[in-house]
Amino acid sequence: MKKWFAAAVILLCFATSSGAAERERLLFLTQDFPPFTYAVDGVPSGPGVEIVKTVCTEQGVDCDVRILPWPRAQMLLRRGQADALFFIGKTYERTRWMRFSSAVVRTEYGFFQRKDSPLAMQESGPQALKGKVVGVYGPSNTSNTLDLLCRELDGDFFIDMTPDDEEAFKKLAWGRIDAVFSNRDVGVALMGKLHLGNLEYVAKYEDVDYYIGYTRSPERAVTVDRFDRALGAMIESGRVEAILKRFFLQ
C-alpha cells in the first residue's frame, strides 16, 4: 500500500512539473513611450501593456513585458532573444525581419511650435518651414518620415535629430530650434510632463498606425500565431478600442 501511494505521488508530481514546464511564455519589449507605454514605480504600465497582458491572461500564456532603450529592444528581437515589440510603425525594411499584427493604435505625426513664434503652417503647410530648424527624435520612423518630407521640399529646412523626444521639446521651448516633428500624443504628453506651457501642436502631417511586431523565428511561430489571433479578435470586438478610450487614445 505504501509503495503504491509513493508511486502515485511521484507520478502526480511529474505530471504537475511537466505541465508547468510546457506552459507557453512570451517576452514582449517596449520603450518608455508615454502615453502608450511607461513605467509606474518601475512596473511597465499604460494602454499598450494592458492590451498585451489582457491577451496573454486570456490565452493562458506567461508574458514578460520589459521597458528597454529602443535600439536595444530591436536588437534583441533581431537576434531571436525576444518574441515581440510594441508599439512600432510598419515599414518595408522592418517587414524583412519581423511580422506585424493588425493595426492596434491610430495616431498622427505633426508639428509643434512655440506660441510666441508661430510658423503659419495652417496657412502655408510645410512651406512655412523654409529655412527653419526642425527637431525630431531619431533614428526612428518619425525621423525617416521627416527626412522624406525634407527631400520633397528640396532640403528647404534643416533637421536637428535628438536621441530622445524630451531633448527635442526642451530645445524648442528654449528657442534653440523652430519646430518639432513628433507623434501628436507623445508630444502632448511630454508638454504636460515637462510643464512646457509655451508650446502648442499646430499642424497635422499624416495619420500613423502602430502595431505589435513579432519575431520571425520558426520555433516561436505557434505561440506567436495564437497570441496574434487572439489580439485580432480583441480588436474586432472593440475591446482594444475600449481600453484605448480610457487613456484618451484611439
Mean pLDDT score, 85-102:
94
Q: For the domain bounded by 108-206, which CATH number is listed? A: 3.40.190.10
pLDDT category of residue 22 using cuts at 50, 70 and 90:
low
CA distance 161 to 64: 32
Whether 104 has a pLDDT exceeding 70, the answer reads: yes
Cβ atoms of residues 198 and 116 within 8 Å: yes
CA distance 215 to 78: 7
Mean pLDDT score, 148-164:
93
Paired strand residues for 45: 38
**In CATH terms, are 21-105+209-246 and 108-206 the same topology?**
yes
Domain ranges in the chain are 21-105+209-246, 108-206
pLDDT tens readout for residues 53-68: 999 999 999 999 999 9
Report the pLDDT value the prediction gives residue 193, as an integer from 0 to 100. 93
Report the pLDDT value the prediction gives residue 217, as an integer from 0 to 100. 93
As assigned by CATH, the class of the 21-105+209-246 domain is alpha beta
Whether 50 has a pLDDT exceeding 80, the answer reads: yes
Mean pLDDT score, 70-94:
94
Whether 124 has a pLDDT exceeding 90, the answer reads: no
SS3 124: helix
Rg (CA), the chain: 22
Report the pLDDT value the prediction gives residue 25, as an integer from 0 to 100. 87
Paired strand residues for 108: 207
Report the pLDDT value the prediction gives residue 224, as an integer from 0 to 100. 94
DSSP string covering 48-67: HHHHHHHHHHHHT-EEEEEE
Whether 11 has a pLDDT exceeding 50, the answer reads: no
The average confidence (pLDDT) of the chain is: 90
Residues above pLDDT 90, as percent of the chain:
82
Of residues 108, 118, 134, the one with CA closest to residue 199: 118
Report the pLDDT value the prediction gives residue 78, as an integer from 0 to 100. 94
Report the pLDDT value the prediction gives residue 23, as an integer from 0 to 100. 65
